[in-house]
Amino acid sequence: MTLEKLTMAQALNRALRDALADDPSVLVFGEDVGALGGVFRITDGLTAEFGTDRCFDTPLAESGIMGLAVGLAMNGMRPVVEMQFDAFAYPAFEQIVSHVAKFRNRTRGRVGLPIVIRVPYAGGIGGVEHHCDSSESYYAHTPGLHVLAPANAADAYGLLREAIASPDPVVFLEPKKLYWSKENVDLTRSVPGIGTAAVVREGTDATLIAYGPSVPTALEAAEVAAGEGRSLQVVDVRSIVPFDDATVCAAVRGTGRAVVVAEAAGFASVASEIAARVTERCFHYMAAPVRRVTGFDIPYPPPKFEHFHLPSVDRILDAVDDLQWEDA
């Protein structure tokens, strides 16, 4: 075991470096990922170490980046592209939905595209407009894509390595506000893979289900609740697609109560999908309907307003209080 103190940004950088070193078909490209090392420095030092053939800047055009990745993947490469910010990925949407996601299906399995689309995503960093979107529902709703959202440095490393090795395209959502959180990580230890959720805090009274930037908030809520005598379990979804019904439902059956926490607007969201799946599969075990704590159904607000919008510890605990304890 080799414990290191790493931020999520450093763990991601290490994952890219190790993948580039292990497999000559891995290519890293996007906007400002070369000399600058990316606006979040996730690609820091990669061009210097591996050269401009392996890690390179492209013209400033997201559809172009994604379409280039499709062709490279068709012809034997493993592209790992960076969309600079969540909302700046939208020009690439047609390429992602119509080509990246469908190529294997269109060709009856003959052409799979091992592409990783890294997206610094979600809010909580005081970003101005178009820099804080939680865009996971668009991708999760598109068959053919895997969608991952790590919530800690160890998962960021392990899941990104697995995403790069995957034969299928992966949308890899990196919670911006967690980039700089430091933790002790053992990169030599393998983490549960794509399609696996994890119980990150045991509890007996209710289950909080969260992913990406909402996991630390859910853990904090559970800590506060423990002080108030209530035992909350926390499940980190990790892999939005494929979704780990087994782990999530086993957890909810154990406690009989569930709250889903996510930053994205709640209407037609991943949180809604999780609430529906849990209800369909766990109804007879449940003492109360599933509650959702999500962002409001509004465009992401300006920095001075974001604390109203984002799921908070108090809002999560209020939702837990609403889970019909009086009937128990």
Partner 1 sequence: MTSDPDSLLPSDEPIRLIDHQGRPTGRAGTDLPDQDALLKAYGALVTARRLNDQANALVRQGRLAVYPSSHGQEACQIAAAHVLGDGDWLFPTYRDTAAAVARGVDPVEVLVLLKGDWHSGYDPYQARVAPQATPLATQLLHAVGVAHAARLRGEPTVVMALCGDGATSEGDFHEALNFAGVFRAPVVFFVQNNQYAISVPLARQTAAPSIAHKAVGYGMPGERVDGNDVAALLTVLGEAVARARSGEGPQLVEAHTYRVQPHTNADDASRYRGEDEVAAWIERDPITRLETYLRGEGLLTDERAAACAADAEEVAAHVRDGLNQDLVPRPDDLFDFVYAARTPQLDEQAARLADEIAREGEK
Rounded-to-integer distance, Cα 80 and Cα 66, Å:
10
| 3 binds partner 1, rule: CB under 8 A | no
Closest CA to 319 of 294, 302, 297: 294
Distances (CA, A) of 93 to 62, 66, 99, 141, 208: 9, 9, 10, 13, 31
Query: Which region, judged by CB under 8 A, interacts with partner 1, from 13-21, 68-76, 182-190, 299-307?
Result: 68-76
Position among 14, 17, 99, 201 found at the interface with partner 1 (CB under 8 A): 99
Closest CA to 102 of 149, 45, 142: 142
| 229 binds partner 1, rule: CB under 8 A | no
User: How many CB atoms sit inside 10 A of residue 2's CB?
Assistant: 8
| 297 binds partner 1, rule: CB under 8 A | no
Position among 5, 105, 202, 204 found at the interface with partner 1 (CB under 8 A): 105
CB closer to partner 1, 63 vs 231: 63
Using CB under 8 A as the binding criterion, the count of chain residues that bind partner 1 stands at 48
Position among 4, 18, 32, 74 found at the interface with partner 1 (CB under 8 A): 74
Catalytic residues, which ones?
A: 131
CB closer to partner 1, 126 vs 143: 143
Position among 243, 248, 256, 278 found at the interface with partner 1 (CB under 8 A): 243
Distances (CA, A) of 313 to 171, 225, 288: 28, 10, 20
Position among 106, 130, 182, 189 found at the interface with partner 1 (CB under 8 A): 106
Rounded-to-integer distance, Cα 322 and Cα 299, Å:
27
Rounded-to-integer distance, Cα 132 and Cα 244, Å:
26
For the chain, what is the radius of gyration of the CA atoms? 20
Does residue 262 contact residue 214 with C-beta atoms inside 8 Å? yes
Residues 47-66 contacting partner 1, CB under 8 A: 53, 58-59, 61, 63-64, 66
Output the smallest distance, CB 115 to partner 1, in A. Answer: 10
Token pair in block for residue 237: 């979804």
* Element housing 263 (H / E): strand 258-265
x-marked contacts with partner 1 along 177-216 as a string, rule CB under 8 A: ------------------x---------------------
| 276 binds partner 1, rule: CB under 8 A | no
| End-to-end C-alpha distance for the chain, whole angstroms | 45
The binding site for partner 1 (CB under 8 A) comprises 27, 53, 58-59, 61, 63-64, 66-77, 79, 91, 94-95, 98-99, 102-112, 143-144, 146, 166-168, 195, 241-243, 245-246
